[in-house]
């Protein structure tokens, strides 16, 4: 009889622990919830503000590309952005931590797709100074 109670208790605990499994939330996935990218990406409104703070902390004129607002466009088009070709632009490749380029902003910090997809779209739309 005692054994039966033990078995029942273990069985009940198993049910209880299992029920927790169903409480977990589905993980955020960019495929389910793709980042929104405007049809026309503006350098001034959408892209330039991305460099504020984190990137400019290092890219302040001492390290190329110079990402301070007044210089960033020209600096980026000078070797870091191949207009129309995001996959050949070290700016985009560094943000998605692609092999062969330095990972930005740091090796253990990768921007979410909501930001990197904006940069990609801007480059693929011709990297305009708009
Ligand atoms: C902690 C300092 C630091 C921060 C923060 C930083 N960078 Fe850099 N970045 C560097 C240094 C130093 C180099 C040049 C040496 C190298 O390639 O590692 C560089 C190189 C680059 C390059 C050229 C990469 C290549 O391999 O050709 C790009 C593009 C770049 N950074 C963009 C950015 C952007 C955009 C951000 C913000 C998301 C950023 N960086 C944040 C220090 C930094």
Mean pLDDT, rounded, for 83-102: 98
pLDDT in tens, 41-91: 999 999 999 999 999 999 999 999 999 999 999 999 999 999 999 999 999
- Would you say residue 88 lies in a domain? yes
Q: Select from 65, 94, 116, 118 the residue to mutate for testing ligand 1; criterion: most ligand atoms less than 8 Å from CB.
A: 94
- Would you say residue 15 lies in a domain? no
User: CB under 6 Å to ligand 1: residues?
Assistant: 54-55, 57-59, 63, 65, 80, 90-91, 94, 101-102, 104-106
- Would you say residue 128 lies in a domain? yes
Distance (angstroms) between ligand 1 centre and the Cα of 34 equals: 26
Total domains in the chain come to 1
Ligand 1 atom at shortest distance from the alpha carbon of 119? 35
Mean pLDDT, rounded, for 96-108: 97
Q: Residues 94-126, buried b or exposed e (16+ Cβ, 10 A)? A: bbbbeeebebbbeeeeebebeebbbbbbbbbbe
- Would you say residue 30 lies in a domain? no
- Would you say residue 21 lies in a domain? no
- Would you say residue 31 lies in a domain? no
- Would you say residue 32 lies in a domain? no
Helix ranges (H only) for 22-112 are: 69-77, 90-95
Domain span including residue 114: 38-130
Mean pLDDT, rounded, for 2-21: 61
Given a cut of 60, whether residue 16 has pLDDT beyond it is no
Note the pTM of the prediction, 2 decimals: 0.81
């Amino acid at each position: 009889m005692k054994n039966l109670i033990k078995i029942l208790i273990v069985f009940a605990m198993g049910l209880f622990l299992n029920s927790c499994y169903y409480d977990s939330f589905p993980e955020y996935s960019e495929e389910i919830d793709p980042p929104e990218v405007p049809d026309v990406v503006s350098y001034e409104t959408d892209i330039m503000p991305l460099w504020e703070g984190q990137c400019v902390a290092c890219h302040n004129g001492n390290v190329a590309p110079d990402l301070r607002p007044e210089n960033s466009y020209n600096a980026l088009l000078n070797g870091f952005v191949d207009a129309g070709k995001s996959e050949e632009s070290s700016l985009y490749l560094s943000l998605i931590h692609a092999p062969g380029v330095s990972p930005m902003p740091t090796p253990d910090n990768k921007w979410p797709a909501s930001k990197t997809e904006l940069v990609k779209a801007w480059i693929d739309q011709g990297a305009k100074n708009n």
